[in-house]
Amino acid sequence: MTARKSIGEIFGFFFFLGRRTGKTRVFALLGLFPVILAFVVRVVFHGRSGDMAAVFTEILMVFLLQFYIVILSLFYGTSVVAEEIEGRTLSYLITRPLPKPAIVLGKYAAYALLMFLMVAVSLSLSFFILNTGRLADPSLYLTFIGYLGVLGLGILAYTAFFTFLGAVLKRAILVGLVFGFGWENVIQYFPGSTQKFSIVHYLKSVLPYRPTGGGGGRLALLLFKLEPTAPAVAVLMLAVVAGALLALACWFFRMKEYLYEE
């Protein structure tokens, strides 16, 4: 079987498995929270579209970008390798005619799509509930696609990082938590080029709404202390980082021996 077909089959199998687990249901439910909040806000701020738009950009988008995709990527990214070792099911995969990198890439793709669907549902519903006053405006849809793209890139980048951690470390989840909710939350506010050492910096640089002059207006919270990188460069960096981390994850998975804890 070719590597491409192997990746495809692994993708199909784990996308099927991932959809069914209770944990996916819990994370999907978590994604409904911004939708519920959007609905509540809609009722409370009926007619005040400016306020509703602000709620989306300053509150819900912060939740989605700095919490939801991070927690999803952390769980599913580390699961790519760690769940096979914890569950002792790795034997079933590596005694198949599957190149080891295909296992990593196939599972990564499956989980990334699963997460993207959860995030897309959450984003779509909450965005359009809060922007019903502007449905006739074509720029709204471009903005929506922009937000979806940012979250999608975030999923790809964070999941790649956590996949790499899961392939290399035994206690990946804790390092991941410190990174996702410690490093990422702190370093993005550091002055100068220090903030470029975070994934969220590049994601924020690509946000579709950016008032000229930086941090201010409706995106004040999201863009606080942001010294943005040019969007094209930011997307390239995210792609390079994700690609490099995935390549490293594949390499480690191929070379490393994984022993089950007795």
Enumerate binding residues for other proteins (CB under 8 A). 1, 5-6, 9-10, 12-13, 16-17, 20-21, 23, 30, 33, 37, 41, 44, 55, 58-60, 62-63, 67, 71, 74-75, 78-79, 82-83, 86-100, 171, 173-174, 177-178, 181, 190-192, 254, 257, 259-260
Which residue lies nearer to other proteins by CB, 87 or 243? 87
State the minimum distance, in angstroms, from the CB of residue 171 to other proteins: 8
State the minimum distance, in angstroms, from the CB of residue 136 to other proteins: 26
Which residue lies nearer to other proteins by CB, 21 or 139? 21
N- to C-terminal Cα separation, the chain: 34
Please give the Cα distance from 102 to 10 (Å, whole number).
7
State the minimum distance, in angstroms, from the CB of residue 240 to other proteins: 27
Which residue lies nearer to other proteins by CB, 220 or 230? 220
Which residue lies nearer to other proteins by CB, 32 or 239? 32
Which residue lies nearer to other proteins by CB, 23 or 240? 23
Alpha helix (H) ranges present in the chain? Answer: 3-20, 22-44, 49-55, 61-63, 69-86, 90-94, 100-130, 138-168, 172-177, 184-187, 199-205, 231-255
CA angle 115–121–123, rounded 5-degree value: 95
State the minimum distance, in angstroms, from the CB of residue 92 to other proteins: 6
State the minimum distance, in angstroms, from the CB of residue 88 to other proteins: 4
Exposure letters 109-134 (e unless 16+ CB within 10 A, then b): bbbbebbbebbeebbebbbbbbbeeb
Please give the Cα distance from 186 to 192 (Å, whole number).
14
